[in-house]
């Protein structure tokens, strides 16, 4: 059994490596080169249009539910409305360019499209729910914002603090953003890969087919995902293992929407910033939209309109060239994830941000 587990883990990592590296590279470009002032400008204002813009802006951004919290608080204190803040809070961690690339490799092209579309719809629905039902005065908090999970004061790297050094070159900005992203997801991705390998080793393929289509399975995945803190990228291999075990695509979608979007530890901070009523509507919007979208996905599958992989794609069908590319990508990811090795290969000022220690 140990041999089977290690074999599944290696195969899953190889299938993940190339697409994850490609997604991280694109995410690094987005994170490093899109000015935060531009994002604040697009989220300023009131009404449904701002809610839609917030979801469309947040969806491709490579932030987990921990990283999006200080970003959303900063936007809120810069003038963003409650509905647009909620929309941004949901769309951003539920999907991203890195998780979409990984979804294409592990879940197939259909779910790779369904996932970000569902995330955007969930964010818009929740934002509109807050817009329609939270009629209290939309007052922006006066307290200073912490801009990153590792921030210790207002003067952190993500706050409004202006560094005195020269503007870094585009290459340095890209590498710095890329290594920051790797640091953010490395531990959680390893957790997701190990858990997915365990599921694929211990659970026979199609073992959950009998319960996979049940509405109760959607509720079960909701209860599993709510307290579980896992980023969108790390949830993808686990979702692939659930699909292979026979769980319905709708139930898997519920897990992929709720797990990354909810972080129980952050609810206290959100209650202070947005108010308890808004947080209740935020959670209601996430849960209800996830269940509805999961149910709709299962209906589409029953109608034969979705073609989904029934097993983990652990064989290297791309031939010798793609197999070599997989191993090369796996090695590069490993080097980026191990800080001591990375610091030997990259200049210290590039690989180490002010929040990395």
pLDDT digits (tens, 9 = 90+) for 108-118: 888 899 999 99
pLDDT of residue 120: 96
**Could you tell me the sign of the dihedral formed by the alpha carbons of 37, 80, 85, 160, in that order?**
positive
Q: Is the pLDDT of residue 281 over 90?
A: yes
pLDDT of residue 127: 94
State the burial class of residue 186 (Cβ atoms within 10 Å of its Cβ: 0-12, 13-18, 19+).
Answer: middle
> What is the rounded average pLDDT of the residues 220-230?
80
Q: Is the pLDDT of residue 299 over 70?
A: yes
Domain boundary assignment for the chain: 2-145+170-351
pLDDT of residue 47: 81
> What is the rounded average pLDDT of the residues 165-182?
64
- Phi, then psi, of 45 in degrees rounded to 5: 115, 180
| 258 Cβ contact partners less than 8 Å away, ≥ 6 residues apart | 221, 222, 225, 226, 286, 287, 290
Q: Which has the minimum average pLDDT: 74-78, 161-165, 176-180?
A: 161-165
Beta bridge partners of 45: 80
Give the separation between CA 13 and CA 333, rounded to whole angstroms.
10
Closest among 55, 45, 37, 146 to 93, alpha carbons compared: 55
Q: If pLDDT is split at 50, 70 and 90, which confidence band does 192 have?
A: confident
Q: If pLDDT is split at 50, 70 and 90, which confidence band does 80 have?
A: confident
> What is the rounded average pLDDT of the residues 94-101?
84
pLDDT of residue 86: 92
Closest among 175, 174, 200 to 15, alpha carbons compared: 200
> What is the rounded average pLDDT of the residues 315-333?
72
Q: Is the pLDDT of residue 96 over 50?
A: yes
* HSE-up of residue 290 (Cα within 13 Å, Cβ side): 31
Q: If pLDDT is split at 50, 70 and 90, which confidence band does 103 have?
A: confident
Question: Do 128 and 51 meet the contact criterion of CB atoms below 8 Å apart?
Answer: yes
Give the separation between CA 244 and CA 182, rounded to whole angstroms.
27
pLDDT of residue 215: 81
pLDDT of residue 343: 66
Q: Which has the minimum average pLDDT: 74-78, 126-130, 243-247?
A: 74-78
How far CA 153 is from CA of 150, 183, 186, in Å, comes to: 9, 21, 25
- CA 287, distance to chain mean position in Å, is 17
- Radius of gyration for the alpha carbons in the chain, expressed in angstroms and rounded: 20
Q: Which has the minimum average pLDDT: 89-93, 101-105, 178-182, 221-225?
A: 178-182
Give the separation between CA 213 and CA 203, rounded to whole angstroms.
17
0.95 surpassed by pTM: no
162 against 169, higher pLDDT: 169
Q: If pLDDT is split at 50, 70 and 90, which confidence band does 207 have?
A: low
DSSP annotation of 164 reads S
> What is the rounded average pLDDT of the residues 116-124?
96
pLDDT of residue 357: 37
291 against 264, higher pLDDT: 291
Task: State both tokens at 39.
Answer: 């994002």
Could you write out the DSSP letters of every residue in 128-167? Answer: HHHHHH--S--PPP-SPPP-STT--STTSTTSSPPPSSPP
């Amino acid at each position: 059994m140990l041999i089977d587990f290690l074999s599944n883990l290696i195969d899953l990592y190889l299938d993940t490596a190339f697409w994850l590296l490609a997604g991280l590279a694109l995410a690094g470009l987005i994170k490093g080169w899109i000015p935060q002032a531009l994002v604040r400008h697009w989220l300023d204002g009131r009404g449904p249009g701002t809610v839609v813009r917030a979801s469309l802006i947040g969806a491709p951004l490579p932030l987990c539910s921990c990283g999006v919290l200080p970003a959303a608080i900063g936007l809120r204190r810069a003038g963003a409305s409650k509905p647009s803040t909620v929309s941004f809070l949901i769309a951003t961690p539920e999907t991203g360019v890195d998780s979409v690339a990984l979804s294409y490799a592990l879940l197939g092209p259909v779910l790779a499209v369904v996932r970000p579309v569902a995330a955007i719809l969930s964010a818009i629905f929740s934002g509109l729910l807050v817009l329609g039902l939270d009629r209290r005065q939309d007052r922006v908090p006066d307290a200073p914002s912490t801009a990153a999970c590792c921030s210790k004061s207002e003067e952190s790297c993500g706050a409004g603090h202006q560094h005195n050094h020269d503007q870094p070159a585009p290459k340095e900005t890209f590498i710095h953003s890329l290594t920051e992203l790797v640091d953010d997801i490395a531990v959680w991705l390893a957790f997701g890969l190990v858990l997915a390998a365990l599921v694929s080793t211990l659970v026979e393929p199609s073992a959950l087919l009998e319960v996979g289509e049940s509405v109760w399975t959607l509720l079960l995945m909701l209860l599993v995902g709510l307290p579980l803190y896992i980023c969108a990228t790390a949830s993808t291999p686990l979702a692939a293992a659930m699909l292979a075990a026979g769980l319905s695509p709708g139930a898997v979608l519920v897990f992929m929407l709720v797990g990354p979007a909810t972080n129980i530890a952050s609810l206290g901070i959100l209650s202070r910033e947005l108010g308890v009523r808004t947080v209740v509507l935020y959670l209601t919007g996430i849960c209800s939209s996830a269940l509805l979208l999961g149910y709709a996905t299962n209906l589409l599958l029953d109608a034969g309109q979705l073609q989904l992989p029934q097993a983990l794609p652990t064989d290297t069908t791309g031939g010798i060239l793609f197999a070599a590319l997989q191993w090369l990508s796996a090695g590069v990811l490993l080097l980026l994830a191990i800080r001591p090795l990375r610091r030997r290969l990259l200049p210290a000022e590039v690989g180490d941000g002010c929040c990395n220690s």
